[in-house]
């Protein structure tokens, strides 16, 4: 049984060593394809793999078709929008994620982003503090909850909107429940996005919501660039010279944003939400353990293509 770790953006060495140990102790063969630059390398590497661990690597139909022995693919992370679930299901391949394993790293980055923008991207000049500001959390899942908890330490007022989480669950954390997105956006100095990229959410954050933000409002995106309507983002940033946007996933039109809006926008050069040793270890080792449990016990907990 061959387990392939295919990561264009590699895990830390300690995480790779941990994955290898779990795989080999289970009696399987470990293989790694790291920092690949061409899809052809991935297509070649997956040919004889029985199990595949990826990060944001695109597991397309082409990859699935090339992987003749594949039985399971685990996205070591939360968002599985990079995996063609239909292609997996058609071939009887189980697809999983590792929910919660890298959430704290992403949550800490969201707070880091808020401070970074409040302090003029660490350039000279008078900034502002998070204390007393209102943070609106859009989607109260694993990351959203941690952002709320960390933001409390900064003395922020916290509001959240998530139609899939009962109001009592949110309120138990001392977080105010917004009745809808209009209330969330109109009352929040910062909006932190934690929605997945789905057919429903893609392009859903745009002019109508952002124009409602209070003066000096800042949109913090550690989710996915696809959820932003980029043309409308440009429009609102043009109209509202006080608004700011910071993102862990460069927008498709990031060059336009940078040129037009300068220090009011910022994008990380490469997605770094889950780029901590801890998150790599948590998500990587969880992925390896899930594969072993799948083969040895038939465990399909965390399957996302049921």
Q: According to the binding rule CB under 6 A, does residue 79 interact with ligand 3PG?
A: yes
In angstroms, what is the minimal distance from the CB of 187 to ligand 3PG? 27
In angstroms, what is the minimal distance from the CB of 262 to ligand 3PG? 27
Q: According to the binding rule CB under 6 A, does residue 18 interact with ligand 3PG?
A: no
Contacts with ligand 3PG: how many residues (CB under 6 A)? 10
| Residue where the block lists tokens 């990587």 | 284
Q: According to the binding rule CB under 6 A, does residue 102 interact with ligand 3PG?
A: yes
Q: According to the binding rule CB under 6 A, does residue 77 interact with ligand 3PG?
A: yes
In angstroms, what is the minimal distance from the CB of 152 to ligand 3PG? 23
CA distances from 153 to 81, 146, 167, 262, 272 (A): 32, 11, 22, 30, 23
Asked whether 244 and 138 are in contact (CB, 8 A), the reply is: no
Q: According to the binding rule CB under 6 A, does residue 55 interact with ligand 3PG?
A: yes
| x-marked contacts with ligand 3PG along 245-274 as a string, rule CB under 6 A | --------------------------x-xx
Nearer to ligand 3PG, 186 or 303 (CB): 303
Report the alpha-carbon distance of residue 108 to residue 115 in Å, rounded. Answer: 11
Report the alpha-carbon distance of residue 219 to residue 205 in Å, rounded. Answer: 10
Q: According to the binding rule CB under 6 A, does residue 282 interact with ligand 3PG?
A: no
Name the residue whose CB lies closest to ligand 3PG.
77
* Beta strands 2-7 and 29-34, pairing class: parallel
Q: Which two tokens stand for residue 105?
A: 């790293």
Among 56, 201, 282, 289, binds ligand 3PG (CB under 6 A): 56
> What sections of the chain are H helices per DSSP?
13-25, 39-46, 61-66, 85-90, 103-118, 142-153, 167-172, 181-187, 207-210, 230-239, 254-261, 277-297
Q: Residue 44, Cα to own-chain centre: how many angstroms? A: 28
At 122 the three-state DSSP class reads helix
In angstroms, what is the minimal distance from the CB of 225 to ligand 3PG? 11
Residues that bind ligand 3PG in the complex, under the rule CB under 6 A: 9, 55-56, 77-79, 102, 271, 273-274
């Amino acid at each position: 049984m061959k387990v392939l770790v295919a990561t264009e953006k590699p895990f830390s060495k300690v995480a790779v060593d941990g994955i290898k140990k779990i795989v080999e102790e289970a009696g399987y063969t470990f293989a790694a394809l790291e920092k690949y630059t061409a899809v052809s390398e991935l297509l070649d590497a997956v040919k004889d793999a029985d199990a595949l661990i990826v990060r944001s690597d695109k597991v397309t139909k082409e990859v699935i078709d090339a992987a003749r022995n594949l039985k399971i693919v685990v996205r070591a992370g939360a968002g599985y929008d990079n995996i063609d679930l239909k292609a997996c299901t058609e071939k009887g391949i189980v697809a999983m994620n590792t929910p919660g394993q890298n959430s704290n790293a992403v949550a800490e980055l969201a707070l880091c982003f808020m401070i970074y923008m409040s302090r003029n991207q660490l350039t000279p000049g008078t900034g502002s503090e998070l204390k007393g500001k209102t943070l609106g959390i859009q989607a109260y899942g694993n990351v959203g909850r941690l952002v709320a908890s960390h933001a409390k330490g900064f003395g922020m007022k916290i509001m959240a909107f998530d139609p899939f989480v009962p109001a009592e669950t949110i309120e138990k954390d001392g977080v105010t429940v917004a009745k809808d997105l209009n209330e969330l956006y109109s009352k929040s100095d910062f909006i932190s996005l934690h929605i997945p990229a789905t057919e429903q959410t893609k392009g859903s954050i745009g002019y109508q919501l952002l124009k409602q933000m209070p003066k000096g409002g800042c949109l913090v995106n550690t989710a996915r660039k696809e959820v932003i309507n980029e043309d409308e983002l440009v429009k609102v940033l043009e109209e509202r010279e006080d608004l700011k946007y910071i993102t862990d996933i460069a927008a498709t039109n990031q060059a336009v944003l940078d040129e037009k809006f300068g220090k009011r926008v910022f994008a990380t050069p490469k997605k770094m939400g889950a780029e901590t040793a801890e998150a790599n270890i948590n998500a990587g080792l969880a992925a390896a353990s899930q594969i072993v449990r799948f083969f040895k016990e038939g465990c399909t907990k965390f399957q996302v293509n049921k």
